[in-house]
Amino acid sequence: MMLLESLAKLLRRRPVDTSLTLAGAAIVAAMAFMALAAPLIAPYDPYVSVDKALLPPSSSHPMGTDNLGRDVYSRVIYGSRIVLTVVLTSTLVSMAIGTALGLVSGYFGGVLDRALSVVMDSIYAFPGLILAIAFAAMLGPGVYNTIVSISVVYIPTYFRMVRGQVLSVKSSLYVEAAKALGASHGRIMWRYILPNVLPILPVIFSMNVADAVLTEAALSFLGVGVPAPTPDWGFDLRNGQRNLLAGYWWPSTFPGIMIVVLALGFSLLGEGLNELLNPSRRW
Amino acid sequence: MALLEIKGLKTYYFLPDSVVKAVDGVSFSLDKGEMLAVVGESGSGKSTLGLSILRLVPRPGRIVDGSIVFDGVDLVKLPEEEMCKVRGRKIGAVFQDPLTSLDPLMRVGEQLVETLLTHFEMSREEAEAEAKRYLELVGISPERFYDYPHQFSGGMRQRVMIAMAVATKPSLVIADEPTTALDVVMQAQIMDVFTRLKEELGISFILITHDIALAVETADRIAVMYGGHLVELATSEEIYKEPLHPYTKALLEAVPDVEARDRKLRYIPGNPPDLSSPPPGCRFHPRCPYATEKCRREIPPDVSVKGRLVKCWLYG
Amino acid sequence: MEEILRVENLKKYFPLERSFIERLLTRKRRYVRAVDGISFSVRRGEIFTLAGETGCGKTTTGRIILRLEEPTSGKVFFDGTDITQLRGEELRRLRRRIQPIFQDPYASLNPRMRVGDAIKDPLEIHGIAEGEEARKMVLEMLEKVGLTPPKKFYNLYPRDLSGGQRQRVAIARAMILRPELVVADEPVSMIDVSLKAAILELMLKFKEELGLTYLLITHDLAVARYVTDRIAVMYLGKIVEQGTADQVFDNPLHPYTKALMIAIPTPKPKRRRKIPIRGEVPLSPVNVPPGCRFHPRCPYATEKCRREEPPLVEVEKGHLVACWLAQ
């Protein structure tokens, strides 16, 4: 309800902001559709060779074929499934774990808080990609392992943001009032603190997903992410790279574009949501 | 000639889905050496009035109509660069929260000196001496020239603000809720400072406040605002002895008096008006015990009664 | 009349943050002595005011009584029990009997909770009612506090209400538990002048109906005058004068109380008041002067005042003062 009201207000406001947000939303929606409808819209099976290798884009293969004769277009469409699944799942997992830990840590403080903060800060201090690669290398390739690797990287982000919010909300008068009413810790966290912390999440989530798209692509590119022959943009990027110098640009370029577009889409959406939920007072 | 003459001032805020008519046709004048209190509650438009005179109305608000003639010049029509010379120099301002108005990294005396050097041609020594004089004038010992704002309490900081406001020798000072954040003893002392400055330096004051008791005690004249309108204008004596407008009457009855215990405290039923869609006719009619059909339909004119101004159908 | 609340030699000191150098050089800590040994009692059914300016310790005292703050030392007895020792389930049951009304109606309500849910929460917390039954009770309460039509207000969020309306919600939330003692910290200072009386009337109405006792905490003596039975004036963490409303307001004995009475604006034109005190309240009650706390500002201070702290002594029945000159 609140979201719809805010949306209506936003639409009446700054056309530039609004159009960028809508562009982001459109991209994400298109990708989601592509992922869901893959079996219906992809002309070929992405796993099998359907034609000669390295055919340039044509009417039967709008994006050409790769070095194994697979239709790039179909691989790109099916790739969106993997990418979206991995990326959304890992971000959701990060969000759930990071938020829960941040909530508890911020609320109770003390030793628990100090210990968790140290752990989280240490993880946060690592460049995300390096950490993800380290985990992926440890766990080995595979979709589930990739999800785990990426999740770990983003948990501290949620932890820190949520903990920060919790600290400020914790000292507000309505939380004191709840305490005075006799509410238990759990009740205060669940009904009084968490709802006031949630507004910041959608924005972080969006931005995170954008980042995760790139991380996932990188992992697969390096061979420690989603393994062959699963269609995946990062993987295909690497796969096509061999033949790039020889002039076969299409097996790498199209997946590459998709990575960029999806990351962009989530970024725009995140920025737009930020304006929506936390409007900056710039009259 | 009056120092300040405001005619038909209208200041509106243009929000995405509504227009807030904060000041909707206000006129009054102020003489040299006079203290006028603008009294009103939330939704009265009193703060916007002060900001309008200073031409500091934040966007999306702006002055849409009327004139503010100060010392012969209409401030509404003045270009911004000219207004800058007036603001801070000929018209000083003291706002509610001295905490955020002072630079925490600069010594207090230094801030005063800066103000002086900005507006006057004088040497640094001269400015420092002047600054110390002004500190003394507002009741701060000149040794504190070298202290930082955080070393002062709220009341002292506010006095520093007053010193800064009057150091430029303005003819008018606008004080918006200058004592609301302060203790009652501090408040009395600051009002004292204002009165002394008024009497010794001939500075005129516009005191914007919600506290009618304070206004009656300190000010020469009182302008009562309600819903963006000026509903009554009279001397504090007249307001106290014989309030004409029903709102003024009700306001006086709502003020608890520490000396009169058994007086029944009254309140005004209803809520302050929504300035983006004010009630038709007289803005006060939904809460007025004397409201008639005419009050509900037409905005009352400004009526002159015994040399005072009332905006009410009961008198016109 | 029986005693419902008794505070005995209550102290609350807040440790000051020490700079790195200080930490290295000395083990001594400095404290803000917010509440420095106060004792008073409140009778069941009365309105007792703790009055004073910012920094005098009245708000901290209120928070200790509400168990939102732990005292450094001293005891608080509620209905005979030392509540500073209560924990867990006992504490929760106590909370039902002592409820707050806070100053800021904008901050004391959860912005993400509907009005109806906010008022229903206490019922669920204490297992008094649930579901439909609870909802009915809330609607009745909304009616009682003047937020009608109740069904409409039930579903609104705090941001849809005005300050006065929010304060009514806060009152409803406190009263629905039928407490015995209500600690009201500046309940009307953020309410418009023309509406203050309405909120005060509402509070008095509940007092009648539920047989409440109020501990009113305020700096606005005019408001206190209007409602209170007895009053204690605080300065820098100590009570300097205490008595019935008539005693303290009509015959203030402590120089600080006298100055407060003079300083309060009353709508009488052109009253030039001579405030018989100098300077102002120190920035924080850290470096408390020796002797009487008030002596640096007192126009009547004597040598004894500068050296010895005057005790709170009864000078007429029920009227206590802490001043060498009044004794």
**Portion 187-226 of A in contact with B at CB < 8 A:** none
* Banded pLDDT at C109 (limits 50, 70, 90): very high
**Whole-number Å distance between alpha carbons of B2 and B172:** 12
The alpha carbon of residue C244 is apart from the nearest alpha carbon of chain B, in Å, by 13
Which comes out higher in pLDDT, residue A259 or C273? Answer: A259
Tell me if chain C has a CB within 8 Å of the CB of A278: no
pLDDT at position B225 is 95
Q: Shortest CB distance from A13 goes to which of B16, B58, B59?
A: B16
Residues whose CB falls within 8 Å of the CB of residue A115, separated by 6 or more in sequence, listed in order: none
**Whole-number Å distance between alpha carbons of B23 and B20:** 9
| Record: contact A13-B60, CB cut-off 8 A | no
**Whole-number Å distance between alpha carbons of B178 and B209:** 8
Q: Are strands C3-15 and C31-43 parallel, antiparallel or unpaired?
A: antiparallel
**Whole-number Å distance between alpha carbons of C129 and B287:** 38
DSSP reduced 3-state for A65: strand
* Amino acid making up residue C100: P
| Record: contact C170-A177, CB cut-off 8 A | yes
User: What is the domain extent for residue B163?
Assistant: 4-303
Half-sphere exposure of B47 (CA within 13 A, CB side): 14
Q: What is the DSSP letter of A71?
A: B
pLDDT at position A279 is 63
Q: Which residue of C has its CA nearest to A169?
A: C110
Check if the beta carbon of residue C164 is closer than 8 Å to that of residue B271: yes
Q: Give contacts of A177 with chain C, Cβ < 8 Å.
A: 100, 102, 108-109, 170, 173
What is each CA distance from A131 to A128, B170, C27, in whole angstroms?
Answer: 5, 64, 44
| Record: contact C99-A181, CB cut-off 8 A | yes
| Record: contact C125-A182, CB cut-off 8 A | yes
pLDDT tens digits, residue range A175-197? 999 999 999 999 999 999 999 99
H, E, C per residue of chain B: CCCEEEEEEEEEEEECCEEEEEEEEEEEEECCCCEEEEECCCCCCHHHHHHHHCCCCCCCEEEEEEEEEECCEEHHHCCHHHHHHHECCCEEEECCCHHHHCCCCCCHHHHHHHHHHHHCCCCHHHHHHHHHHHHHHCCCCHHHHHCCHHHCCHHHHHHHHHHHHHHCCCCEEEEECCCCCCCHHHHHHHHHHHHHHHHHHCCEEEEEECCHHHHHHHCCEEEEEECCEEEEEEEHHHHHHCCCCHHHHHHHHHCCCCCCCCCCCCCCCCCCCCCCCCCCCCCCHHHCCCCCHHHHHCCCCCEEECCEEECCCCCC
**What is the distance of C-alpha B288 from the center of its chain?**
25
**Whole-number Å distance between alpha carbons of C145 and C143:** 6
Which comes out higher in pLDDT, residue B163 or A275? Answer: B163
**Whole-number Å distance between alpha carbons of B26 and B299:** 13
- Structural domain includes residue B308: no
pLDDT at position A23 is 87
**Whole-number Å distance between alpha carbons of A243 and A28:** 30
- Structural domain includes residue A64: no
pLDDT at position A59 is 83
CATH at A171 = 1.10.3720.10
| Record: contact B16-A283, CB cut-off 8 A | no
- Structural domain includes residue B312: no
Mark the ranges of chain B whose per-residue pLDDT is less than 70: 98-99, 260-263
Which comes out higher in pLDDT, residue C78 or B43? Answer: C78
Taking only Cα atoms into account, the Rg of chain C, rounded to an integer number of angstroms, comes to 21
Tell me if chain C has a CB within 8 Å of the CB of B250: yes
| Record: contact C121-A179, CB cut-off 8 A | no
The torsion of the CA quartet B138, B35, C220, C192, rounded to 10 degrees, works out to -130
| Record: contact B185-C259, CB cut-off 8 A | yes
pLDDT at C28 over 80: no
**Whole-number Å distance between alpha carbons of A87 and A212:** 6
Task: Provide the total of helices (H) and of strands (E) in chain A, helices listed first.
Answer: 13, 0
Q: Give contacts of C96 with chain A, Cβ < 8 Å.
A: 182
Q: Give contacts of B60 with chain A, Cβ < 8 Å.
A: 283
**Whole-number Å distance between alpha carbons of A70 and A251:** 10
Sketch out chain C's domains with CATH numbers: 3-97+181-277+312-326 (3.40.50.300), 111-178 (no CATH)
Determine which of C223, C280, C287, C294 to mutate to test the interface with B (most B C-beta atoms within 10 Å): C280
Question: Among positive and negative, which fits the CA dihedral B27, B31, B37, B42?
Answer: positive
| Record: contact C173-A180, CB cut-off 8 A | no
Tally of structural domains, chain B: 1
Question: Among positive and negative, which fits the CA dihedral A192, A121, A155, A77?
Answer: positive
- Structural domain includes residue A42: no
Average pLDDT for C31-51: 93
- Structural domain includes residue A28: no
Task: Copy the structure tokens of residue C49.
Answer: 């005011």
Q: Give contacts of A13 with chain B, Cβ < 8 Å.
A: 16
CATH at B134 = 3.40.50.300
Q: Which residue of C has its CA nearest to A186?
A: C125
* Statement: the pTM of the whole predicted model exceeds 0.90: no
* Residue B118 zone, left/alpha/beta (φ > 0; ψ -120 to 50; rest): alpha
Tally of structural domains, chain A: 1
Tell me if chain C has a CB within 8 Å of the CB of A173: yes
| Record: contact A283-B17, CB cut-off 8 A | no
Q: Shortest CB distance from C223 goes to which of B41, B151, B256?
A: B256
Task: Copy the structure tokens of residue C289.
Answer: 């002067």
H, E, C per residue of C57-93: CHHHHHHHHCCCCCCCEEEEEECCEEHHHCCHHHHHH
pLDDT tens digits, residue range A26-53? 999 999 998 898 888 888 888 888 888 8
**Whole-number Å distance between alpha carbons of A251 and A62:** 11
* Banded pLDDT at A202 (limits 50, 70, 90): confident
| Record: contact C107-A174, CB cut-off 8 A | yes
Check if the beta carbon of residue B209 is closer than 8 Å to that of residue B35: no
pLDDT at position A283 is 39
* Banded pLDDT at A282 (limits 50, 70, 90): very low
H, E, C per residue of chain C: CCEEEEEEEEEEEEECCCCHHHHHHCCCCCEEEEEEEEEEEEECCCEEEEECCCCCCHHHHHHHHCCCCCCCEEEEEECCEEHHHCCHHHHHHHHCCEEEECCCCCCCCCCCCCHHHHHHHHHHHCCCCCHHHHHHHHHHHHHHCCCCCHHHHHCCCHHHCCHHHHHHHHHHHHHCCCCCEEEEECCCCCCCHHHHHHHHHHHHHHHHHHCCEEEEEECCHHHHHHHCCEEEEEECCEEEEEEEHHHHHHCCCCHHHHHHHHHCCCCCCCCCCCCCCCCCCCCCCCCCCCCCCCHHHCCCCCHHHHHCCCCCEEEECCEEECCHHHC
**Whole-number Å distance between alpha carbons of C219 and C236:** 13
* Residue C211 zone, left/alpha/beta (φ > 0; ψ -120 to 50; rest): left
- Structural domain includes residue B124: yes
pLDDT tens digits, residue range C220-236? 888 899 899 999 999 99
| Record: contact C109-A174, CB cut-off 8 A | yes
CA angle C187, A171, A114 (to 5 degrees): 165
* Amino acid making up residue B92: G
In degrees and rounded to multiples of 5, residue B173 shows phi and psi of -125, 130
End-to-end CA distance of chain C: 28
Q: Give contacts of B151 with chain C, Cβ < 8 Å.
A: 283
Tell me if chain B has a CB within 8 Å of the CB of C24: no
What size, in residues, is chain A? 283
**Whole-number Å distance between alpha carbons of A238 and A218:** 9
Task: Copy the structure tokens of residue B120.
Answer: 């006057």
User: What is the domain extent for residue A221?
Assistant: 73-277
CA angle A253, A254, A260 (to 5 degrees): 90
**Whole-number Å distance between alpha carbons of B195 and B189:** 10
